Amino acid sequence: MCFHYQNGELRAEEVSIKKIAEQVGTPFYCYSTEKLTRNFDAYRRALADENATICYSVKANPNLSVVAALARLGGGADVVSAGEMYVALKAGIPADKIVFSGVGKTREELAEAIKMNILQINAESEAELELINRLAVEQGKKANVALRVNPDVDALTHVKITTGKKENKFGVAWEEALSLYRRAAQMEGVRIAGIAVHIGSQLLDVEPFRLAFTKIASMVQELEKEGIEISNIDLGGGMGINYNVELPPTCAAYAQVVKETLGHLNKHIIVEPGRSIVGNAGILVTEVVYNKTNGEKNFIIVDAGMNDLIRPALYDAWHTILPVTKHGTAPIIADIVGPICESGDVFAHARIIEPTQAGELLAIMCAGAYGAAMSSIYNFRPLVPEVMVRGGEFAVVRKRTSYEEMLSGHAVAPWL
């Protein structure tokens, strides 16, 4: 176990969480190198019989050390901004293993991607395709382009993270994709590299994948009948993890669906896992500030807030919360809340948990994905440190932001 108890104390691999807190302060994120490696290797083993590239979805967690760890395992990157592309390149991922997705790529971002000759730009609209063509012609190049096709498949996930239905903003409408590919084939600055699909996040069933991939296979066959060659099939990400009592599919089950639906096409497969690589490889450690009772309701007030981990406030997401030191005392029912001036700053409602004392530590589990990546300085609270553990050692891989750094880009207007 990468996060486990030893003599009643929570550890990350071989390092005491309490020891990290004493040296770094709270709150802080902690990532396990071993768990990142295991999760990546699960995909690599499952897809070993396919011609596949695992492009980590950087948006899940863009920490430079996290991305570098995956780069050293042979991973590529799925990016959705020039900033994420910069991180991927800095982490050691070569341009020919980078896929650029997203509905709102700017002229500057696309120009940079074309200049870098990345593996593939996933165009999500006719207007974007036309802009890519113009920019590539200006550079005297052909851009490697795929169309992200919206298959109108329900991912059976949270409404805010489903991306493959026709009412979602993502991708080219299914009924328009074929004609847009025909146009792309005639464009001077475009080399058709592949086709892309991504139907959502935190999927707990492989059947939506099967439906989407089957539709994509039929589209590839239609295109190739017309002489439009497809080299890459980008399947996006979406595999879920166990936050509470979920039973997500295994990488082997996912790979079997890939083989059954697309194996006969003999194409290069791109997968873009994010949450399933880093989600359970990270925790958020926070200190109890106060215990409070309002009537019959118990509150445990901690020093982490929704600015550090917004998922519970944004999605009503469940995160298991554990004491860093177990006392074995009879549990109570309490809300675990942060210090932010918002009623929604709640990590857990009516949670069964051991009573705590001020100064004790809690660990918010499975916080490696969409945790630090979505953090903010709301209430002018500093971004918290991120720590990476390997075996018996740890390193601060992003330091806590100081107030001076937070104000470094500010200026007082000259008339004040």
Distance from C-alpha of 277 to C-alpha of 57, rounded to nearest angstrom: 9
Distance CA(364)–CA(285), nearest Å, equals: 6
Contact partners, residue 299, CB within 8 Å, separation at least 6: 290, 291, 292, 293, 334, 335, 336, 337
Integer Cα distance of 65 and 397 in angstroms: 6
- Write out the two tokens for 115: 């200049």
Q: How far apart are CA 120 and CA 192, in angstroms?
A: 9
Residue 370 annotated in ligand binding: yes
Q: Please give the single-letter amino acid code of residue 48.
A: A
Task: Output the CA torsion 44→45→51→56 (10° steps).
Answer: -20
45 labeled part of a ligand binding site: no
Please check if 315 is assigned to a binding site: yes
Residues 6+ apart with CB under 8 A from 301: 288, 289, 290, 291, 292, 337, 338, 339
Check whether 351 is labelled as a binding-site residue: no
* Residue 274 assigned ligand-binding role: yes
341 is catalytic: yes
Name the nearest CA neighbour of 338 among 280, 385, 299. 299
Structure tokens at 86: 């910069």
Dist. CA 416–CA 414, nearest whole Å: 6
Query: Is 273 annotated as belonging to a binding site?
Result: yes
Q: How far apart are CA 333 and CA 367, in angstroms?
A: 22
200 Cα distance to chain centroid: 12
Contact (Cβ atoms closer than 8 angstroms) between residue 258 and residue 213: yes
56 annotated to a ligand binding site: no
Spot the catalytic one: 30, 55, 341, 366: 341
Residue 272 marked as a ligand binder: yes
| Residue 311 labeled ligand binder | yes
Helix ranges, 154-287 (H): 174-185, 207-225, 251-262, 275-278
Tokens matching residue 375: 């953090």
Residue by residue, DSSP assigns 198-236 as --BSSB--SHHHHHHHHHHHHHHHHHHHTT----EEE--
Binding site per annotation, positions for substrate: 275, 311, 315, 342, 370
Binding site per annotation, positions: 238, 272-275, 311, 315, 342, 370
Binding site per annotation, positions for pyridoxal 5'-phosphate: 238, 272-275, 370
Question: Which are the catalytic amino acids?
Answer: 341
